[in-house]
Amino acid sequence: MGRSMEQKTEICRVENLYDLNETIARDLFDGVTYPWEVLPHISDFIRRLGPTLDPEIYEQRGEDIWIAKSAEIAPTAYINGPVIICPNATVRHCAFIRSSAIVGEGATVGNSTELKNVILFNRVEVPHYNYVGDSVLGFRAHLGAGAITSNIKADRKNLVVREGDLVHETGLRKFGAMLGDHVEVGCNSVLNPGSVVGPWTNIYPLSMVRGVIPGHSIYKNKNEIVIKREDASES
């Protein structure tokens, strides 16, 4: 039997997108309704959290940069604080972490991947030529090679998220994508500014995604979104 086309009310709410047990940034989401609300506060949160981290697990490597001793950091990676890189994460050759990034436990930041003002939950993979800016990627979310989050509109106006009859005025000029847990994004896809993708959703390669995409679905194009079978998405 397939899933009903009816989704949880308000896909965009934090509790409908993320398992907050899978991020060191859990406290940042306290009192937050929609995940994009945390974007202006990532830098300050890192600066507060960093000095409290266990020195047996983390070491400070420069101003406002805390890296777990078990993390693998390529010598050619560039890391500019404030940044926290969690245990067993991997940052590969020529990665460019510009600032304000939390890289979760076991996450992978790939060669020539650029991060800026982001939260990667545990075990996120952005492994090849990805740009992730002003975004939150949930537990085990994965971007295929060349997939990017576009984080600013051509007209430079603030982003508005429309979900059915709901209109969310974000007040943000820079806002990439909110990807729920277990989202898979195909190679060379573009997530347009203000995109929200529900958990367990697959995005076809070469897609141009805009707006709010239901969870547990397969996105082929804006006119063809198929809800997965129950036994196919959480196995």
What beta strand segments (E) does 129-165 contain?
131-137, 142-143, 148-149, 160-163
Structure confidence at residue 135 (pLDDT): 98
Q: How many CB atoms lie within 10 A of CB 154?
A: 7
What whole-number distance in Å separates Cα of residue 110 and Cα of residue 91? 6
> What residues have CB less than 8 Å from 201, skipping those under 6 apart?
180, 183, 184, 213, 214, 215, 216, 217, 218, 219
What beta strand segments (E) does 86-222 contain?
90-91, 96-103, 108-111, 114-120, 125-128, 131-137, 142-143, 148-149, 160-163, 166-169, 177-179, 184-185, 190-191, 195-197, 202-203, 208-209, 212-213, 217-221
Q: How many CB atoms lie within 10 A of CB 55?
A: 10
Structure confidence at residue 164 (pLDDT): 87
Structure confidence at residue 230 (pLDDT): 67
**Mean pLDDT per 10-residue section of the chain, whose length is 235 residues:** 48 97 98 97 98 98 96 98 98 97 98 98 97 98 98 95 92 98 98 98 97 96 88 49
What whole-number distance in Å separates Cα of residue 26 and Cα of residue 19? 9
Q: Tell me the two tokens of residue 81.
A: 């604080």
Structure confidence at residue 229 (pLDDT): 77
Please check whether the domain covering 14-233 is classified as CATH 2.160.10.10. Answer: yes
What whole-number distance in Å separates Cα of residue 150 and Cα of residue 205? 16
171: phi then psi, degrees, rounded to nearest 5:
75, 10
Q: Tell me the two tokens of residue 174.
A: 């820079």
